[in-house]
């Protein structure tokens, strides 16, 4: 296609709405969060049949191609959970990728506060993968996990998909992707670098810096108040999740344990 397209791979609750607002600052760029056609609208069906994602892409790409702007950015967290690989597989399109991360525990707590539990809640079903979905981070006996543990697994599943995407791009010799956090983007120079990776520039850098400061001072999509003090011993619960994954994918677990987004107390519990 003739558009310069950028998508994010992330779990969500990682600052994607903030990222959306920032990327509006680039020249000739349409930046959206969860526009129609919305990835989430058929995600439940895509989990069972990835061919539905291919059909969805036919419509989605047609819509994107008709926008007036030369650059298109979308930060939906569902893209990476069931639509990235079909896009590559069926259309040979390798978009710019923002691999947006955040402290794993903080992200899982945020999901828990919103009652967005994989498998068990409507929002969890709509926005998170299912442990039985092919291609997810494997784990056994997920039915016995607590709601918090399922949220933690979902966060790790998205990290697993981010690493997979990076491997694909490295194998292809592509460098149009960037690991980052929303906090990183409060630094204008890092934000500018992210734009460069995605082939984006400013019309007026001075004005962009001014608007960047304004946007960085705003809170987007704050969580409703819900205590997490009913979650006992998070480190132990997280270690149990990692243990149940390690029987299938010890290499990914080792990478998770080495990640700066994993708390040290989890490593102390993991055997």
For 36, the domain range is 4-269
24 three-class SS: coil
Nearest to 248 by CA among 87, 131, 84, 137: 137
Number of domains in the chain: 1
Separation between Cα atoms, residue 23 and residue 72, nearest integer Å:
10
Cβ count within 10 A of residue 176: 14
Separation between Cα atoms, residue 252 and residue 244, nearest integer Å:
12
Report whether 132 contacts 107 (CB < 8 A).
no
Indicate which CATH number applies to the domain containing 117. Answer: 3.40.50
Separation between Cα atoms, residue 71 and residue 83, nearest integer Å:
20
pTM score, whole prediction: 0.95
Instruction: Give, for all 271 residues of the chain, the pLDDT tens digit.
Output: 799 999 999 998 999 999 999 999 999 999 999 999 999 999 999 999 999 999 999 999 999 999 999 999 999 999 999 999 999 999 999 999 999 999 999 999 999 999 999 999 999 999 999 999 999 999 999 999 999 999 999 999 999 999 999 999 999 999 999 999 999 999 999 999 999 999 999 999 999 999 999 999 888 766 565 556 667 799 999 999 999 999 999 999 999 999 999 999 998 888 6
């Amino acid at each position: 296609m003739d558009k310069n397209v950028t998508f994010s791979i992330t779990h969500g609750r990682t600052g994607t709405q903030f990222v959306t607002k920032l990327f509006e600052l680039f020249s000739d760029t349409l930046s959206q969060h969860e526009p129609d056609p919305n990835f989430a609208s058929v995600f439940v069906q895509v989990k069972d049949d990835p061919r539905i994602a291919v059909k969805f892409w036919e419509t989605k790409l047609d819509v994107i191609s008709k926008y007036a702007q030369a650059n298109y950015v979308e930060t939906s967290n569902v893209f990476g959970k069931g639509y990235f690989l079909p896009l590559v597989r069926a259309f040979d399109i390798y978009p710019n990728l923002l691999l947006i991360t955040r402290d794993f525990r903080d992200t899982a707590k945020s999901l828990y506060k919103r009652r967005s539990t994989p498998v068990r809640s409507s929002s969890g079903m709509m926005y998170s993968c299912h442990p039985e979905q092919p291609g997810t981070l494997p784990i056994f006996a997920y039915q016995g996990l607590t709601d918090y543990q399922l949220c933690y697994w979902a966060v790790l599943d998205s990290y697993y998909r981010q690493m997979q995407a990076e491997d694909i791009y490295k194998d292809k010799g592509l460098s149009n992707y960037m690991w980052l956090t929303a906090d990183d983007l409060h630094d204008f120079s890092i934000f500018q670098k992210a734009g460069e990776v995605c082939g984006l520039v400013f019309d007026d850098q001075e004005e962009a810096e001014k608007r960047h400061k304004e946007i960085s001072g705003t809170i987007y999509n704050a969580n409703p108040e819900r205590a997490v003090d009913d979650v006992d011993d998070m480190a132990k619960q997280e270690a149990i999740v990692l243990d149940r994954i390690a029987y299938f994918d010890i290499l990914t677990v080792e990478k998770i344990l080495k990640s700066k987004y994993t708390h040290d107390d989890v490593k102390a519990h993991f055997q």
